[in-house]
Amino acid sequence: MISIKSKRYDRLGRYHGLGESGLSRLRDAKVSVAGCGGLGGSIITMLARYPVGEIRLIDRDVMDETNLAHQALVFEHHIAQLTPKVVSATEYISTVNSDINTKSLFDDIRSNNADELLSGSDIVIDGLDNFATRFIINDWCMKNSVPYIYGGLVESEASMKVVVPGKTSCLRCLIPEPPEPGTVRTCDAYGVHLPIIPFLSALMVDAAIGILIGNETENTGAVIEVRLGVEGSSLRILGASAAQNPECPTCQGKFEFLDSKGDNRAISVCGQNAIAISLDTEIAPSSLTDTLGADFNVSVNPYLIRAMDESNSLVYTVFSHGRVTLEGSDDETKLRSFISKYIGN
């Protein structure tokens, strides 16, 4: 049991907006962070300083060299080891605050496993980079009356929205359908201004703490837009906290994304010449070593196996949670042929 009277929380408890009663509520809270990259990692660095009872970490990816400049929980040794982001996040929390119970879930949030991954959460905080998963989470949170904090950023701009089921509009009120690939800017294509990440994560953590201790504000549910940069900075609060779209299917109890069970369509990977398919099965990466090793240059660890076709500049990655990616091409036929030949699905 976390002791809120511990000296470590002295400065937090002295803040009049939190106090001992607020710390006590946090001690019983279960927080899920979906996505542990740039935004999610920054959120985690702050959450870990509070006496949060449980932090559930959910992410499907491993680290690569492009993460080093903007992701707080990535270190150089992680790159060579192909370390999952949830592993580094768990290590960070255990080093900073061993009182917190952490659950590390190296998995891909899908319609058919959302309940398993998110059940028991008191709030879900979004550190994701794709709208397909966000719409599943929005559906799940609305269906289960769990607050959800959406956050997104690119270049020097960021936005966030707090969703409190029954009190505010939801993400689908704001964005009726997931944007088509290539129609929105992404960090992979347009980059990110580093200071915008901790700025947005601070706003999101502030909102989460407020909800968890029962101090919702007049701006809860509004869209907040932030822009930082050498050309000038701004913060705007847009919209009303309860401005639901009367035509929003989710607010009417139609959870179309959550109910799309067994969907394993190929999807484009954010801002890259790559595609991915999520299989409805777990895979032991080591079981594919011999099969793939005959045709590819292979790297393997407990979380994935990576097969490199250097002659064609293609890289196939099979994750233990069932996601399979192809980098270097957006040809779905190539990826499905690989899956059929080497995995058997």
Residue identified by tokens 């060579």 is 80
**pTM as predicted:** 0.92
Residue 205 DSSP one-character state: H
Please say whether the dihedral angle defined by the alpha carbons of residues 60, 63, 68 and 72, taken in this order, is positive or negative.
Answer: positive
- Residues 269 and 71: their CA atoms lie apart, in Å, by 19
What's the confidence (pLDDT) of residue 190? 83
Q: For 164-179, what is each residue's pLDDT tens digit?
A: 999 999 999 989 998 8
CATH superfamily name and code, 7-238: NAD(P)-binding Rossmann-like Domain (3.40.50.720)
For the segment(s) 267-343, the CATH number from 3.30.470.20, 3.40.50.360, 3.30.310.10, 3.40.50.300 is 3.30.310.10
Q: Torsion angle, CA of 282/327/132/125, rounded to 10 degrees?
A: 80
What's the confidence (pLDDT) of residue 181? 67
Q: Per this entry, what is the length of the chain?
A: 345
- Residues 102 and 115: their CA atoms lie apart, in Å, by 18
In 104-258, which ranges are continuous DSSP H helix? Answer: 114-118, 131-144, 171-174, 187-190, 196-212
Three-class SS of residue 152? strand
Q: For 254-280, what is each residue's pLDDT tens digit?
A: 999 999 865 567 777 766 788 999 998
So where are the chain's domains?
7-238, 267-343
Residue 84 DSSP one-character state: B
- Give the distance, in angstroms, between the CA of residue 100 and the centroid of all CA atoms in the same chain: 20
What's the confidence (pLDDT) of residue 316? 97
Written as tens digits, the pLDDT of the chain (345 aa) is 677 777 899 999 999 999 999 999 999 999 999 999 999 999 999 999 999 999 999 999 999 998 999 999 999 999 989 999 999 999 999 999 999 999 999 999 999 999 999 999 999 999 998 898 999 999 999 999 999 999 999 998 999 999 999 999 999 998 999 887 667 787 877 889 999 999 999 999 999 999 999 987 767 788 888 888 877 777 776 655 557 889 999 999 999 999 986 556 777 776 678 899 999 889 999 999 999 999 999 999 999 999 999 999 999 999 999 999 999 998 999 999 999 999 986
